[in-house]
Amino acid sequence: MDYLFQKLTENIKSHSNVILMTHKHPDLDGMGSAIGLYKIIKELKKECYVVKPTSKIDFSLEKAFQLIESNNMNIKFMEYPNLLNIIDDNSLLIVLDVQKPELVECKQLLEKNKDVFVIDHHMNTSVHIENTVFEYINSNKSSVVEIIVDYLKYLNKSVDFLTATLMSAGMEIDTHSYQLKTTDATFRAASALARMGVDLTLKNELLKESMEDVIRRHDYIKNSYYIKEGYLLCDMGAGEINETVDLAILADELLRLDGVQVSFAVGKIEDNTVGVSARSMGKVSVEVIMSALGGGGHVTDAAATFENKSNAEVIEMIKKVVMEG
Q: pLDDT-derived band of residue 92, with 50, 70 and 90 as boundaries?
A: very high
Domain span at residue 171 reads 2-207
Q: pLDDT-derived band of residue 301, with 50, 70 and 90 as boundaries?
A: confident
CATH number at residue 319: 3.10.310.30
**In terms of pLDDT, which residue wins out, 14 or 301?**
14
The pLDDT value given to residue 180: 80
Answer yes or no: do 194 and 240 share one domain: no
**How many domains does the chain fold into?**
2
Domain limit, last residue, from 169, 184, 207: 207
CATH number at residue 97: 3.90.1640.10
Answer yes or no: do 13 and 131 share one domain: yes
The pLDDT value given to residue 20: 98
Q: What is the pLDDT of residues 158-169, one digit of tens each?
A: 999 999 999 999
Answer yes or no: do 271 and 287 share one domain: yes
Q: pLDDT-derived band of residue 147, with 50, 70 and 90 as boundaries?
A: very high
Q: Is residue 227 scored above 90 in pLDDT?
A: yes
Answer yes or no: do 60 and 165 share one domain: yes
Domain limit, last residue, from 207, 238, 261: 207
Answer yes or no: do 228 and 319 share one domain: yes
Answer yes or no: do 242 and 119 share one domain: no
Answer yes or no: do 200 and 309 share one domain: no
Q: What is the pLDDT of residues 31-77, one digit of tens each?
A: 999 999 999 999 999 999 999 998 778 788 999 999 999 999 999 99
Q: pLDDT-derived band of residue 181, with 50, 70 and 90 as boundaries?
A: confident
Answer yes or no: do 190 and 231 share one domain: no
| 115-120 vs 91-96, strand pairing mode | parallel
Q: Is residue 243 scored above 80 in pLDDT?
A: no
Tell me the whole-structure pTM to 2 decimals. 0.85
Q: What is the pLDDT of residues 4-34, one digit of tens each?
A: 999 999 999 999 999 999 998 889 999 999 9
Q: CA 88, CA 34: separation in Å to the nearest integer?
A: 21
Q: Is residue 288 scored above 90 in pLDDT?
A: yes
Answer yes or no: do 202 and 133 share one domain: yes
Q: CA 314, CA 251: separation in Å to the nearest integer?
A: 16
Q: CA 324, CA 147: separation in Å to the nearest integer?
A: 36
User: Mean pLDDT, to the nearest integer, of 248-269?
Assistant: 93
The pLDDT value given to residue 213: 81
User: Mean pLDDT, to the nearest integer, of 118-138?
Assistant: 87
- Number of residues that make up the chain: 325
Domain limit, last residue, from 175, 207, 239: 207
Q: 70-85 burial, b for 16+ CB within 10 Å, e for fewer? A: eeeeebebeebeebee
Helices first, then strands: H and E counts in the chain = 13, 12
Q: Is residue 116 scored above 80 in pLDDT?
A: yes
Answer yes or no: do 65 and 193 share one domain: yes
Answer yes or no: do 14 and 102 share one domain: yes
The pLDDT value given to residue 244: 66
Q: CA 251, CA 253: separation in Å to the nearest integer?
A: 5
Answer yes or no: do 192 and 246 share one domain: no
Q: pLDDT-derived band of residue 286, with 50, 70 and 90 as boundaries?
A: very high
User: Mean pLDDT, to the nearest integer, of 302-312?
Assistant: 92
Q: pLDDT-derived band of residue 245, with 50, 70 and 90 as boundaries?
A: low
